[in-house]
Structure formats: C-alpha cells, structure tokens
Structure 1
Amino acid sequence: MPVTIPVAALASKAAEPPSRRFIVGQDPQGNWVAMEVHGLGGGLFRTRHDALHYATDLTGHRPDAVVMSADQIELLL
C-alpha cells in the first residue's frame, strides 16, 4: 500500500535559500553601492544611509549581514 506524505511535510523539508549578505561601499565615481555577495541584487545610491537602509532591509536587519568595504567596489550589471 502506498505511503501518503502530507504536502506540508514536504514543504517544511525544502532547502532554505542561502542567507543574503551585502557589501556596502563607494564606487570610483563616488556613488554608494550595496551589492549582494552572491550577485543576487544590488543598487547605486546617492547616500551611505540609503545604501545601508536598502541592505539592512533586505537582510532582515541581521547584525552580521552587512559589511562596509574599505576599498572601492563596483556593481557589475
């Protein structure tokens, strides 16, 4: 006799997506950049505050999820 597995049980065992992490810094033109470390997203911003706000919102305000870069970074499209 076949075994029936509830759909909810299958969904709970699905792999969790990798945690999003961002690097925030300035590009060579002086724009502020927030870039997801796996290339899943990012953007150019007028202010450091805006870049940090974007990155912290998308990472659920996790304290270890956003790092500031001391070096220039570039968002590749």
Structure 2
Amino acid sequence: MPVALTPLPPVRPHAAAPPSYLVGQDGEGHWVAVAAGGRAGGIFRTRQDAIRYACIETGCRPDDVRLAADPIAFRLT
C-alpha cells in the first residue's frame, strides 16, 4: 500500500549565530567570559556565573562554551 509523504517546509537560514565564549580566570584570578573576537564578555564572581552568562549568550548550544586552561587576557575598552 503506497504511503503519501508530506513534503517538509523549506529550511530558512538562521540569523548570524552568537559567538563562542571562552571561560576562565584572568591573570589576577577573576572569573571571566570572553566572546570569540573579544567583542563581548564580562568579569564574574564565580566560575558558575561566568559559564551561565556564556551559555545564555550562545543559546546553550553544545561546544560553544569552552573552559580555558591558561589565564585569559581581559581588557575593558
């Protein structure tokens, strides 16, 4: 018996994806989250706060928030 297939709607391209974030400590031990390219980010009281911020900013997409092994240079401009 043949089965009628319903065509899928066309896929629309999404708006530009939010940048990936790097979370770690700066040279003074503050927790920071910095967007790729350094155009966004912040200083946080705890590691969990920095990760939460980065997750929200990236839409909680897997692999978009990474932990840094080395100190992160963070500049306020």
Aligned to 2:16: 17
2:32 and 2:73 map into 1 onto residues whose CA distance is 7
- Could you tell me whether the CA contact under 8 Å between 1:20 and 1:37 is conserved in 2? yes
**Post-superposition shift, 1:18?**
4.4
- Cα RMSD over matched residues? 1.8
How do residues 1-77 of structure 1 correspond to structure 2 at under 5 angstroms? 16-77=15-76
* Runs of 4+ with deviation above 4 angstroms: none
Give the TM-score normalised by structure 1.
0.74
1:59 and 1:31 map into 2 onto residues whose CA distance is 21
Give the TM-score normalised by structure 2.
0.74
2:42 and 2:73 map into 1 onto residues whose CA distance is 10
List runs of 5+ in structure 2 lacking aligned partners.
1-11
- Could you tell me whether the CA contact under 8 Å between 2:18 and 2:57 is conserved in 1? no
Q: Residue type of the partner of 1:66? A: V
- Could you tell me whether the CA contact under 8 Å between 2:24 and 2:71 is conserved in 1? yes
Number of paired residues?
Answer: 65
2:75 and 2:17 map into 1 onto residues whose CA distance is 21
2:38 and 2:25 map into 1 onto residues whose CA distance is 17
List runs of 5+ in structure 1 lacking aligned partners.
1-11
